[in-house]
Amino acid sequence: MDMLQLFGLAACAALILSGSPLPALAQDRPVGPGFQTRSEVRGARGAAATSQPLATLTAIEVLKAGGSAVDAAIAANAVLALVEPTGCGLGGDLFALVHDPEQGLAGYNGSGRSPAGLSAELLAQRGLKRMPAHGALPVTVPGCVDGWFALHQRFGRRPMGELLAPAIAAAREGFVLTPVIAEAWRKNAPALLQFSGFRAQFTAEGRTPEAGEIWRNPGLATTLEALARGGREAFYTGEIAARIAAEVAAEGGFLSAADLAAHRGEWVEPISVAYRGVELHELPPNGHGITALQHLELLEGFDLARLGFGSADHLHLFIETKKLCFEDRARLIADPDHYPAPIERLLSAEYAAERRALIDPARAAKRVAPGLQAFDEGDTIILATADSRGQMVALIQSNYRGLGSGIAPAGLGFVLQDRGELFDLSPGRPNSYAPGKRPFHTIIPALLTRGGQPWVAFGVMGGATQPQMHAWVTCNLVDFGLGLQAAGDAPRAIHRNSSEPTGERMLDGGVVHLESGLAEWEVVRELLRRGHRVEWNDGEFGGYQAVARDPVHGTWLAASESRKDGLALAY
């Protein structure tokens, strides 16, 4: 038995004697804020970081062929749609931040809308209090493909057919499944086996593929070939759109060919806050990037560097500030066409000071004002790329839940998202369901600038994990001076609501999930003394990918953390 295991047993024994709640045993993991799995990779011309080696290799090949960072991101995303269907695909949505040396910072919101033919009244007549997690009702228009073509039209340098070719080839020839994805596939599939299109295309007669197995998706190859020939219209009109609508209708849903034909994503102005000499940029609602900005605004009032990474004071303040900004997240984030959030007020120093004054430095808050907050599930991919011209991209894409709704149109090779699950079915709220409306969205890319110059493009996938970890990573880089790799590898603390099965309301203080690198006994004991409920290694800690500009040498860095199957490369 090694020292870490002895420590865990001793700590649990002490908890038993004290009568405090017993956390789950921690898994072995090196401790300390400076822990990292490897050094950052470095290169002079370009860089890429994704959650799958094949996608990263594809991105680098595109960059070497003269493609832009946006080209590399699109090509990598197409490969990820094949090799990581548990997190993304053509049936999902897409968001991106692009910093271009000529055009500056641009944001793209590629979220789809609810069906025009499904009303809140019809959902109420069916007796639904919540949108179901799977099936045809939560399906919204997929925005991914439109996002690819919008990004490519503005920033692309290589033909779209060339960018999709690696994914097409791998879909036909097969790819080797990686361990993290194999496990996610196994866990998510049982709820979706009721859908014939899913069984036929994403299982082998009901069996999910294993790590190390070669898996093919000829339907996806055919769909991507159609896009290479016919552009975005090949997806949103014509045969593909008709087949999507027919499959949804057969399963009792309402998404129509007209809904698909009407879809357009939009370019949006990013929002930002300054934090100790750097600026964090996020996309405005309907996503919750604003929550990460609020979190940093609250944290700026505390000297985290003096408190020290992983100290009880650091963790307590991070958790308590998270609770406050997530209350606003629950109430105020929705489709801006239906409810324009008070962004200026939420990000003001005055408001942050008001909210910060509510924090008790000695006690954990047990309750906040109620509001819909069913936003904690979901799986996603995040990737980051950079090119020789200085263009940087953070692109995030998702099916929402691991394998989406389960509705997989026959022969097309992808599953439609269930993003509509995030609508509020209570009337009169900002995120209440309405036809043709975009739901609250969890996927958010991030970009840091320093002195107005692009520094880091990054993201941390994982539902409600994302805004917390955008703030966590920023603090790691800025307050604690960690490098790009260590900022992602350092152990994490995540706060979750726990009072209801759905996590809608925090009535009992929620749960603090700690990775074992933060589970020093004195720290845990102090958190318990302050009223926190603590569990170890029992949360979704997300998946971090990042590229950065070395401000001294003008070269590139890339980092991909150890919690996923990913790879960072630079050249």
3-state SS class at 231: coil
The continuous run of DSSP H or E covering 454 comes out as strand 453-461
3-state SS class at 425: coil
What is d(CA 98, CA 419) in angstroms, rounded to the nearest whole number? 24
3-state SS class at 170: helix
Contacts of 387 (CB under 8 A, 6+ apart): 45, 46, 63, 67, 68, 69, 72
| Token reading at 347 | 């990000």
The CA-based angle 49-55-56, given to 5 degrees, is 35
What is d(CA 501, CA 290) in angstroms, rounded to the nearest whole number? 26
Q: Which of 58, 208, 380, 449 is catalytic?
A: 380
Q: What is the 3-state secondary structure (H, E, C) of 81-115?
A: HHHCCCCCCCCCEEEEEEEECCCEEEEEEECCCCC
CA atoms within 13 Å, Cβ hemisphere of 111 = 29
Which residues is 232 bridged to in the sheet? Answer: none
Contacts of 62 (CB under 8 A, 6+ apart): 71, 72, 75, 76, 158, 162, 163
380 annotated active-site: yes
What is d(CA 571, CA 559) in angstroms, rounded to the nearest whole number? 13
What is d(CA 435, CA 116) in angstroms, rounded to the nearest whole number? 5
Q: How far is CA 428 from CA 114, 120, 132, 424, in A?
A: 17, 11, 20, 9
Task: Enumerate the active-site residues.
Answer: 380
